């Protein structure tokens, strides 16, 4: 008997600049949110495998919090993020210099489980950043990374 592989559901958003996926996690929104609003935990759940280290920021993010990461995507670099959307245990999103956003929306299903939707939203990126995203073929790559992040988040939250 083989174990079924856990996958998140890739969602069609109707906008080629927004890549989303969702997953059901057997944990409360607050348990899941503890991973999302603590930048020191982001490397654990990063499905892109680009975060190498958290270098700055609070233990708990709120609106306008700033946090820095060491990253690697072909080259090593550092990035400073700012929380731009926030509703405790329900929503968190951040952006960096390129202006695109990573957004997590949590919906309590009322039965001890939570639906989590993650979106990479490139609609906020200015023209030069759009050129970069298209040159790097970031949209298809990011769709996969979003889906993988949710699988890692599920594993981490359900192990807690």
25-83 pLDDT tens trace: 999 999 999 999 999 999 999 999 999 999 999 999 999 999 999 999 889 999 999 99
Does pLDDT of 1 surpass 80? no
Q: How far apart are CA 101 and CA 125, in angstroms?
A: 9
What confidence tier does 21 reach under pLDDT thresholds 50, 70, 90?
Answer: very high
The CA R_g of the chain, rounded to the nearest whole Å, is 15
Q: What is the DSSP letter of 2?
A: P
What confidence tier does 136 reach under pLDDT thresholds 50, 70, 90?
Answer: confident
Phi, psi of 57 (to 5 degrees): 125, 165
CATH T-level topology, domain 17-159: Alpha-D-Glucose-1,6-Bisphosphate; Chain A, domain 4 (3.30.530)
Residues whose CB is less than 8 angstroms from the CB of residue 148 and which lie 6 or more positions away in sequence, other chains included: 8, 47, 48
Annotated domain spans of the chain: 17-159
Residues whose CB is less than 8 angstroms from the CB of residue 107 and which lie 6 or more positions away in sequence, other chains included: 29, 90, 114, 115, 116, 117
pTM of the model: 0.94
Residue 3's pLDDT is: 60
Tell me the average pLDDT of the chain.
Answer: 94
């Amino acid at each position: 008997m083989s174990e079924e592989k856990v996958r998140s559901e890739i969602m069609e958003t109707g906008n080629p600049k927004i890549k989303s996926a969702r997953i059901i996690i057997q944990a409360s929104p607050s348990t899941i949110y503890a991973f999302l609003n603590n930048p020191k935990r982001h490397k654990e759940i990063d499905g892109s495998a680009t975060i190498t280290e958290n270098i700055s920021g609070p233990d708990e993010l709120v609106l306008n919090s700033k946090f820095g990461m060491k990253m690697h995507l072909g080259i090593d670099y550092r990035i400073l993020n700012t929380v731009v959307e926030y509703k405790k245990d329900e929503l968190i999103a951040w952006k960096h210099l390129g202006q695109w956003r990573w957004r997590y929306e949590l919906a309590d299903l009322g039965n001890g489980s939570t639906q989590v939707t993650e979106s990479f939203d490139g609609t906020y990126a200015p023209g030069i950043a759009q050129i970069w995203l298209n040159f790097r073929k970031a949209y298809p790559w990011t769709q996969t990374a979003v889906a993988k992040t949710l699988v890692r988040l599920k594993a981490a939250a359900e192990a807690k």
